[in-house]
Structure 1
C-alpha cells in the first residue's frame, strides 16, 4: 500500500474514533475501556507481526492483513490507552495540585512519545525487524492491560472525594474497593457473627 494513502487512512480512522470515543467515555467505565482496548491492541500487534514475518519469509502473500491489523490497532488504541489517560488526569488529581500535576504528566508523556519516535530505527535493529518490534508493542500493550487491571481505580461517575478515600484503604484494585463505609460494614458483620457464635 502507498505510504501516503496509509497515513491518510490512519488519520481518518483516528478522527472518526475520536468522535466515537466522546460517546464511549460518557457511557462506559474507564477501566473496562482501557482493559478492552489494551487487549485489542495486543491482539492486533501480534497478528500484524506474525503476518509481517510470514510475508518477509515468503510464507504468505496476504499483504492486506498487517494493514487491517494496524488500522484495528489504531481503533482499539483510541478506545483505551491513547485517549483515556488524558481524561483521567482531570478526574484523579485533587484540585489543589491539578494544574501542576497536569503540566508534569503532559510534559512527561510528550517527552516519552518523542523518545519512542526517535528510537524507532534503533528498536527495529534491536528486535530484528518490523515483526519483532510489533511483537514488542504487543507485549507492551499486555503490560498496560495488567497494570490497569491491578492498579487503576475506576473514575467514571465517581466523586473525587471517593477516589481519594479509595487510596486511603487500597493499593491495588484486585479484590474490590475497600472504603471506610465498606470496612465499617465488614466490621459490623464480623461483630454480629461473633455475637451469634457466642449465643
Structure 2
C-alpha cells in the first residue's frame, strides 16, 4: 500500500508539474543546441540516401548498365538495410548508450557511401547501399530519442523535428546538385556529415535518461548540468528522471511480452500505426522517384528537381515552427489530408493523360501535386511519427518498442520503394489512387488514436499513460 501511494503521489506530481515553466528544465543552453546539431548531422546523410536514387538515376544506370530491376533493387536495399539496423537499434542504444550507437552508425554509413562512390560493379554498389542503410536504421531510432531526452520539454517537439529538417536539407542537396554532379560525387557528399558527427560526438554529453537507466547517478547529474547550465538547480529534474526510471522498471522488466500488457498496448498501436501510414501512403516512393514521376508526366525533370530542392527546407521550417504551437495532432491531420488530396489529383492527372484528354494539364498538375504532397508530408507525417515514438514509450520498453517500430517503418518502406516502379508500370493513376486512399484512412486513425503530447515532459507523458491505462484502452481499443 505504501509503495502504491508513493507511486500515485509521484505520478500526480509529474502531471501537475507541466504548469511550472519557470525552472531550469526550460532553459535552452548552448550545449543543448550544439548537441542537437551534432546529432542531426547524420540525418543530412540520411536525406541524401533517401533522394539519391532520384538524383543519380540516369548516370548510375548508364555507367553501370543497370536494368530497371537492378536499379529498383538498389533503391530498396537502403531501407532493407535500415530494417536490419532497426532490429539492433534499441538494444544497442541501451547497452552502449546513445552516443556509442551514433558512432557505430557513422562507421557503417561512411563505409557504405565510400563503397558506392568507388564501385565499378553491382555487387560493391549493393554492399555500400546495405551498409549505409544499416547505419541509417540505427540513426533513425537513436537520434530522435537522444534529442527528446536532452531537450527542454517546452521545445522538445521543435528540437526533435529538426531531425526532419536536416533530412530535407540532404534531399534538397541531392535534388539540386544531381543536375550537375556525378553520382560518385553525390556519394562522397553523403559521407561528409557522418565524418563531422564522428568528431562532434566527442564534445556532447550522454543522455541523462540513459545514465539513469544504467544507474550512473553522478554522470547523470553532470550531464544535466552541462545541458541546463552550470548554475542551474537540476535536483528536481534529476529526481524525477530517477524516480520514473525506477518506477517503470519495478512495474515491468523489459521484454518482448511486456509490449502486449494492457497499459502498453495503446502506445504500441499508435507507434506502429503511424509508421505504417507514413510508408504505405507512398512517401518513400514519391521522394525517391520524383524524377521518374516528372518524366512520365512530361514535366521537365531538371526544372522539377531544381525547384524541389529550393522548396525542401522552407516547407520543413513550417512544421518546425508549428510543432510546439499547434501540437502533434493538428499537424498530423493536416498532413494526412494534404497527402491524400495530392495523390487523388495526381491519379486524376494520369487518368486524363491515359484518356488523351487535356494533355497540357498533366505535367502542370503533376508538378503542383508532387510539391503539395512533399510539403504536407514534411509538416506532419514526415517527422512527427518519430517525435511521438521518442515520447510515448517508457524507458523500460523503449528498447523493444523502439526497435519494433523502426523495423516496421523500414520494412514497409523497403517494400514500397521496391514495388513502386513495377506499380507505376502497371498503372500510373492506380498507384496514386492507392496511396491517396491510405492517406485518407489515416485521418480516422489519427483522430481516434493519436494522443497530444505538446508541452509535457517525458516523465509526465509516461505517468499519464501509466496512470490511466484502463481509461485509454476503453476509449480507443474497445
For Structure 1 versus Structure 2, the TM-score category normalised by the shorter chain is 0.7 to 0.9
Tell whether 2:171 aligns with 1:171: no
For structure 1, list consecutive stretches of 5 or more residues without a partner in the other structure: 175-199
Deviation digits for residues 149-169 of structure 1, max 9, x if unmatched? 111122222321123334431
Separation in 2 of the partners of 1:8 and 1:124? 23
Counterpart residue number, 2:374: 74
Tell me the equivalent position of 1:133: 431
CA distance in 2, matches of 1:38, 1:81: 7
Tell me the residue number matched to 2:328: 30
Question: How big is the shift at 1:122?
Answer: 3.1
Superposed, 1:31-180 pairs within 5 Å as 31-60=329-358, 61-62=360-361, 63-124=363-424, 128-158=426-456, 159-160=460-461, 161-171=463-473
Greater shift in the superposed pair: 80-89 or 3-12:
3-12
Q: What SS is found at the alignment partner of 1:142?
A: helix
Between stretches 49-58 and 130-139, larger displacement belongs to 49-58
Mapped to 1, the partners of 2:309 and 2:315 lie a distance apart of 10
Deviation per residue, 1:80-116 (Å, 9 max, x gap): 1111101001111112222443233223212211111
User: TM-score under structure 2 normalisation?
Assistant: 0.34
Aligned length: 172
1:39 to 1:8, Cα distance in 2 relative to 1, 3 A: same
Q: Secondary structure at the match of 1:41?
A: helix
SS at match of 2:323: helix
Q: Which residue of 2 aligns with 1:188?
A: none
Could you tell me how far apart the structure 2 residues matched to 1:28 and 1:124 are? 36
Q: Tell me, yes or no, if the aligned pair for 1:153 and 1:173 is still in contact at 8 Å.
A: no
Deviation digits for residues 134-191 of structure 1 (CA, Å, limit 9, x no counterpart): 11110010111111111112222232112333443123767xxxxxxxxxxxxxxxxx
TM-score of the pair, normalised by structure 1: 0.77
Bigger proportion of residues as helix: 2
Of the structure 1 ranges 33-42 and 93-102, higher mean CA displacement relative to structure 2 is found in: 93-102
Give the 5 Å matches for 1:188-199.
none
How far off its partner does 1:24 sit? Answer: 1.4
Structure 2 CA distance for aligned equivalents of residues 132 and 43 of structure 1: 14
Whole-angstrom distance in 2 between the partners of 1:11 and 1:157: 33
Partner Cα distance (2:466, 2:309) in 1: 37
Conservation of the 8 A alpha-carbon contact between 2:308 and 2:371: yes
- Cα separation, 1, equivalents of 2:474 and 2:429: 34
Rounded Cα–Cα distance in structure 1 between residues aligned with 2:367 and 2:376: 14
Aligned partners of 1:149 and 1:173 also within 8 Å? no
